[in-house]
């Protein structure tokens, strides 16, 4: 994950005001996706909304988690744990949604991806500074790949979802640290290819792929310097709303879906 010929450096802190806009966009697009998928009848032919607007949500959430984990927190693991807590509250109503088999919700995908990406970066940093054994690092990385293969069967967005945050972190760091030298720009461009590849593989339809890749490209532009041109958000999202929306909106959807059954049981 080295980003230059001189090895890894601690990433500088770029402007992050885009994430305040991203919070609103992520909640709106996620809610559109879930309402369309779980509540609207098929006769409405509203599946296009899930395949377009709805495909913005996950790459946007993943980008914000990767950005904060890389630039704005001293303890990515503690940040990941806070995401897991939200996921624990959301898991019960999430499990009532129509799907085949057991699956952990997106918060677990994001948290595990953040822990993995942070570990990979720290390991690469130690090796680049000759403070770690390359064979041991390679063995440990291979072990994490085995864990990735196993865990990927149990989380939302599966294996590709777990890859997205580590790939974002690689690209964000490379683009943020790249100088004007051609070699640095070429390396930064190469570092952006994995996350674009993962984003392009995440969906089946051309429409869904287009929205996912376009969202990812926008995130890469922010890391390359465009973030400093984003204005401050007009209305900042209340922290309690941000933390409660994911489990809360699933609880409301579950209540609407199962209301006749609940009324029958109560009666």
Which tops the pLDDT comparison, 22 or 263?
22
Instruction: Count CA within 13 A, CB hemisphere, residue 183.
Output: 4
Given a cut of 60, whether residue 9 has pLDDT beyond it is no
Smallest CA-to-CA distance from 1 within 160, 122, 93, 103 is with 122
For residue 104, give the 3-state DSSP assignment. Answer: strand
pLDDT by residue (tens digit) across 31-43? Answer: 999 999 999 888 8
> Average pLDDT, stretch 236-249?
96
**What pLDDT was estimated at residue 259?**
81
**What pLDDT was estimated at residue 132?**
67
Q: Do the beta carbons of residue 22 and residue 215 sit within 8 Å? A: no
> Average pLDDT, stretch 142-166?
97
**What pLDDT was estimated at residue 261?**
67
Q: Given the structure tokens 């996620």, which residue do they identify?
A: 30
> Average pLDDT, stretch 214-225?
96
Q: Do the beta carbons of residue 54 and residue 33 sit within 8 Å? A: yes
**What pLDDT was estimated at residue 6?**
38
The pTM of this model reads 0.91
Q: Do the beta carbons of residue 132 and residue 123 sit within 8 Å? A: yes
Given a cut of 90, whether residue 12 has pLDDT beyond it is no
Give the contacts of 205 (CB within 8 A, at least 6 positions apart).
51
> Average pLDDT, stretch 232-253?
96
In the structure, how many helices (H) and strands (E) does the chain have? 10, 0
For residue 128, give the 3-state DSSP assignment. Answer: helix
Asked which of 27-36, 53-62, 96-105 is least confident by mean pLDDT, the reply is 96-105
> Average pLDDT, stretch 123-150?
90
What residue segments make up the domains of the chain, in order of their start? 18-266
């Amino acid at each position: 994950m080295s980003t230059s010929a001189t090895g890894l450096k601690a990433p500088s802190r770029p402007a992050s005001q885009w994430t305040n806009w991203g919070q609103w966009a992520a909640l709106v697009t996620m809610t559109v996706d879930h309402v369309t998928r779980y509540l609207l009848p098929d006769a409405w032919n509203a599946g296009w909304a899930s395949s377009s607007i709805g495909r913005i949500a996950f790459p946007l959430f993943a980008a914000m988690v990767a950005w904060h984990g890389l630039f704005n927190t001293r303890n990515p693991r503690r940040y990941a744990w806070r995401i897991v807590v939200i996921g624990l509250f959301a898991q019960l109503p999430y499990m009532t949604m129509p799907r085949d088999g057991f699956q952990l919700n997106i918060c677990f995908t994001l948290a595990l991806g953040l822990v993995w990406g942070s570990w990979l970066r720290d390991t690469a940093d130690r090796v680049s500074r000759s403070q770690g054994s390359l064979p041991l690092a390679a063995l440990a990385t291979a072990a994490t790949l085995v864990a990735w293969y196993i865990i990927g069967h149990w989380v939302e967005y599966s294996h590709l979802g777990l890859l997205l945050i580590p790939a974002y972190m690689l690209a964000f760091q490379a683009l943020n640290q790249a100088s004007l030298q051609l070699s640095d720009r070429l390396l930064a461009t190469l570092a952006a290819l994995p996350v674009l590849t993962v984003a392009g593989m995440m969906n089946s339809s051309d429409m869904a792929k287009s929205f996912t890749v376009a969202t990812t490209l926008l995130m890469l532009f922010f890391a390359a310097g465009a973030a400093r041109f984003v204005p401050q958000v007009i209305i900042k999202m209340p922290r309690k709303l941000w933390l409660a929306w994911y489990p809360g909106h699933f609880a409301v959807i579950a209540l609407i879906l199962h209301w006749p059954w609940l009324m029958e049981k109560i009666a």
